[in-house]
Amino acid sequence: MNEFFVVVGLGLCLLVFLVLYRVIFGPGVFNRIAAVSAIGTKSLIILLIFGYIYNRVEMFIDISMVYALLNFIGCIAAAKYLEMER
């Protein structure tokens, strides 16, 4: 069962690298925010899978809760900041 988690975790890391392409070459700042938000959700799952691999699930659940929270607030803040006409 542990190997299954390791494989899924590595797969997700591969996906994060793919999305990284969009972060670097994304035509505008908005593509980059969308990509970063996508990376945020993927790393949330990677974090939880880490918890399962080291079977300290209790600790990693709290960390991933905070992570999901700050990822959401970050997205809203970035969108709000970019919306203002300078």
Of the pair 54, 77, the CB lying nearest other proteins is at: 77
Read off the tokens for 46.
Answer: 């990677």
Contact between 53 and other proteins by CB under 8 A: the answer reads no
Alpha helices (H) along the chain: 2-25, 29-53, 57-83
Q: How far apart (Å, rounded) are the C-alpha atoms in residues 86 and 3?
A: 51
Q: Which residues bind other proteins (CB under 8 A)?
A: 1, 4, 8, 11-12, 15, 18-19, 21-22, 27-28, 30-31, 33-35, 37-38, 41-42, 44-45, 48-49, 52, 57-59, 61-66, 68-70, 72-73, 75-80, 82-83
